[in-house]
Amino acid sequence: MSELTVSLPTDPGLREALGDEPGVRFVTWDLDGPAPADRLDIVVPPYWGGNRQLAQLAGVETRLVQWQSIGYNGVTKHLPQGVPLANATTVHETSTAELALALTLAAQRGIPEFVRDGTEHRWDLRSFPSLADRRVLLIGYGGVSKAIEARLAGFEVEITRLARTSREETNLAGDRVAVHGFAELHERLAEAEIVIAAVPLTDETRGLLDAAALAAMPDGALLVNVARGPVVDTEALVAELQSGRLRAALDVTDPEPLPADHPLWDCPGLLITAHVGGDSSAMLPRMVALIRRQIAHLRAGEAPENVVVGEWPSA
């Protein structure tokens, strides 16, 4: 069997963690200059390089691009036609779910307020809402939302699930659960005390949580966004936060990075993290495991996992 050529970015630790793979030649390329070879079996772009870097693949015979994110919105604008791209399903779900839960707990139990009290050495005894007994709406029901649901299992919440189409699904506990469709969005938002968005960014989900959708949420409700910033109408969210009617915890914003003078920063009832959901110590070993599996698939003449753009040629 011929040797595979795998292009890796200079991301810290990735090449070292992969070690040596029999029959595989690893080369380094950040998609910022000439390709290291005319033919590449797998190209792993930099995690934070953006979509535009994919245009560098023009003229390079590329069998598979292994993206390092689950989300892949916008890649088709720059990816050469006919090049298959696999996303990083199995890599980020756990870390993103952890952050979603952390943001929810922090916002519910007043952690940002107590941190501010601590910097001023002020003891201020106050009561905040629990997570227990709350009605939680999960918007999107893919791997991230299922991981969030699994982590909410011990918190005694009532969970409703909503995705593009209504259906029954099996959750990570092995139970069959009902998933409502987007057609019921406003109805389900009106029932929810905590809304956690974990949908991919598509034409259908862009602006999904617009002014009308936010207005449907009850007074005092919490919106947690670990999806993509444009899923939420930023101007409408700012208005709701400034009025004090809603609260929010955002790992993603629109625009992003959020400019220092943006009004979101000064909104009451808001907690922001800098799009760090999937970027934890769990990412590297899971990314390494996925790349190794993709190498094994190609060496065995099998289709790779997670192909979300383009088609893998049939045998």
Confidence of residue 315 (pLDDT cuts 50, 70, 90): low
Q: Is the CB of residue 268 less than 8 Å from the CB of residue 242?
A: yes
Identify the residue with better confidence: 313 or 259.
259
User: Torsion-angle region of residue 217: left (phi > 0), alpha (psi -120 to 50) or beta?
Assistant: beta
pLDDT value of residue 42: 97
Indicate if the pLDDT at residue 212 is higher than 90.
yes
Average of per-residue pLDDT across 274-281: 94
pLDDT value of residue 314: 73
pLDDT value of residue 48: 86
Is 180 one of the annotated active-site residues of the chain?
no
pLDDT value of residue 213: 98
Catalytic residue among 92, 228, 247, 286: 228
Is 256 one of the annotated active-site residues of the chain?
yes
pLDDT value of residue 1: 59
What is the Cα–Cα distance from 190 to 254, expressed in whole angstroms? 24
pLDDT value of residue 77: 93
Is 161 one of the annotated active-site residues of the chain?
no
Catalytic residue among 161, 180, 188, 275: 275
Indicate if the pLDDT at residue 2 is higher than 90.
no
Percent of the chain with pLDDT over 90: 93
Radius of gyration for the alpha carbons in the chain, expressed in angstroms and rounded: 21
Average of per-residue pLDDT across 257-274: 97
Catalytic residue among 3, 61, 184, 256: 256
pTM, whole model, 2 decimals? Answer: 0.92
Confidence of residue 105 (pLDDT cuts 50, 70, 90): very high
